[in-house]
Structure 1
Amino acid sequence: MTQDEEPSINQISFTWPKGFYNDGIKIGLGTVDKKDFGYLFSQVPAAAAGTYTTNKFQAAPTKLTKDTINIDHKLQAVIVNSAIANSCTGAQGTKDALTEQQWLADALNIDTNLVGVASTGLIGAYLDMDKIKAGLPKLQPKTGDDVSQAVLTTDKQPKQACVQVELDGKTVTITGFAKGSGMIHPKMATMLGFVTTDAAVDGDLLQETLSAGVDTTFNQITVDGDTSTNDMVVVLANGMAQNTEIKTAADTDYDTFAAGLKFVLGELAKQIAADGEGATKLIETNVTEALNSTEAQSVAKAVVGSSLVKAAIFGDDPNWGRIIAAIGMVDAHMDVDHVAISANGIPLVKDSVALPFDEAMVSESMKAAKVTIDVSLNSGTAVGQAWGCDLTYNYVKINASYHT
């Protein structure tokens, strides 16, 4: 690919890359009748990278996986569960996470330092280790999507994305799945993301690429402004496509791989935002003419994160005053006399004052499953993007009884 060419990304239906298998089963960890336990593994050790919650009360499995990946950026398997977060569980929670890691390593006959652990669910509750021990032998190497079902909590459906790209003349698959519906406001929420690929990529470079990709995808979504103790996004690259290993960002195929990975991360992030607890609409905010990308992203996220904006969009109310107020709260450069705002392509504000528009027409357009807000700050050339969802009565209903 030359410098002027756009990477070719082929979006396909859910397909695992070469050498990856999974399973998800029901072992009764919670009160909901659903799959709640599973695993993901590669036939061979894979380069691995991760990003993790910045919440100070980082859950035991999250911390363990971070420490494990940081040894030499390698993983071969991840054990997962929903219903119980194994967070704020003290020494017992740490011991349980280590036990899970050891049990799966023994079952697969691999090194303990090749196993990650991921949990999501109720904070403060302890894992039922007897159920986990009994469930492990029931996991089978399958090629369906059962593991993506096993990590769900209040989600309405799994989040999945898959693309293929060509690297070194080889077809490479990049496949991801995620869960997340509430407690979503990453900076790396009960949010978990897993991406697998058969590309051959150096582990340190994979970490750099993932971190950069997460900054403009997962870290640009919000549902309710709350960050969880268990956030994690992990990527495994097992090299079974047999392309020449990508070792540096200057390598010929790096841009294509990075674009494919970012596409998958972005699709998963948007699906999480759209599936926010009680949500009926996806909100996308695009900021242009910002002084720099950091400020553009901050403004975009402030708009989609505003409870007043979210409530107005739930009510199909083109109240642009909510939007401009959210913009003005951000510590970012903007020409306060020349800000522009549009909703679903319909101009609402120019030079920071209202334009004449048909309120009924705009309101009708806001009944769509996706509402797009465009903002110009008139202060530079940088752009930013963020995603969120509307705030509904059902969000309160779900979270008023989450524990009970």
Structure 2
Amino acid sequence: MAPAITLAADAPTLSAANTGFMLICSALVMLMTPGLAFFYGGMVRVKSTLNMLMMSFISLGIVTILWVLYGFSMAFGTDSGSIIGWSSDYVGLSGIGLTQLWDGYTIPIYVFAVFQLMFAIITPALISGALADRVKFSAWALFVALWATVVYFPVAHWVWGAGGWAFELGVIDFAGGTAVHINAGAAALGVILVIGKRVGFKKDPMRPHSLPLVMLGAGLLWFGWFGFNAGSWLGNDDGVGALMFINTQIATAAAVLAWLAYEKIRHGAFTTLGAASGAVAGLVAITPSGGAVSPLGAIAVGAIAGVLCAMAVGLKYKFGYDDSLDVVGVHLVGGVVGSLLIGFFATGGGQSDVAGLFYGGGLDQFWKQCAGVFAVLGYSLVASAVLAFLIDKTIGMRVSEDDEVAGIDQAEHAETAYDFSGGGGGSAFSAAPAAPAQEAKAKKVDA
């Protein structure tokens, strides 16, 4: 077939509406990282609250700088061998024109770059929930930098970069089922297999200290996820973004109900933690699939994910791995479920004409989804375990047992989350008030 001729009149032009929409979506996705911090921060014990918050917030700093220096170039630069990208114009974001458009779209490259930056930030932050209570903050910061470079940037190119092998194979991942959630969940499993369990795992009670914080975090995640998902179509011109938006709401609602129903049958109660976890499970599962399935399909995706993720979170007790806040059970399992169900529920009338098994398309797309899912899972699991092993053998990955028992907030940050004494919860290095006897002695000397 002869190549198509693109006339100047047909070339995309900058759309103020799409540009504004994508900037709003970028801000929504940025809000998800503080939302995740609250979600995780409420789930840990009091003595680890600040550390959990900081493990998310530090990703905002580290990944932003790496993305500007070379991450965007690695993920979305000119393809090399279907594995990695690189474009010198993207290094330092220095060779990009102010109104230069992202290829084939009506938004500037800067807007696309900042939107994708927010994905790169939250992905390593997701991993942190599996490592609660026991990781040195300096080691975590180093891990984030290395992991983003070695794992996230290449995987983002595989899945979304022009020329990436998964992209060229036809693996469907609308907004990050493989590149974000399976990637983070597999990484979490790899790291915890290296660093081991918390002191007192399966012996001491490790209940969430603040369920209101958990619900607040889940609400912020749900709100921000509309930008995460609908924004991934990069515009509003054909209705696909609207389909993704409504499917995000539908699947999340279905997952909440399914998780709570399973919980009531299995454990006899409807818990707030279950509602929050179910919401996140639904959000994870619809992330890769929402542009390909119908609203009825979104109900199925959410309900299936809600039940399977609720079942999966208990596996850590059966197999003995300490996934502190259920990153493996929710993000890895939810990402796998949502990605593979595309092979069954894709209608062929959404983001593409690819149909799944239930819509006459056979199993061809299912096998493509399997290739993407298990390649990302395997690579992230192994690479993350290797990185954790190297860090552990050099600067050490874990805090001491005494610091873990006493509280990682005080040991690593010299602060506490709450003031129970009325004396302030700030830095341990703040000047303490003088004792009465000392004050009297000082006055006598002055006299």
Fold shared per TM-score above 0.5:
no
More helix per residue: 2
TM-score for the superposition, normalised by structure 1: 0.30
More strand per residue: 1
TM-score for the superposition, normalised by structure 2: 0.27
Find the structure with the greater CA-based Rg: 2
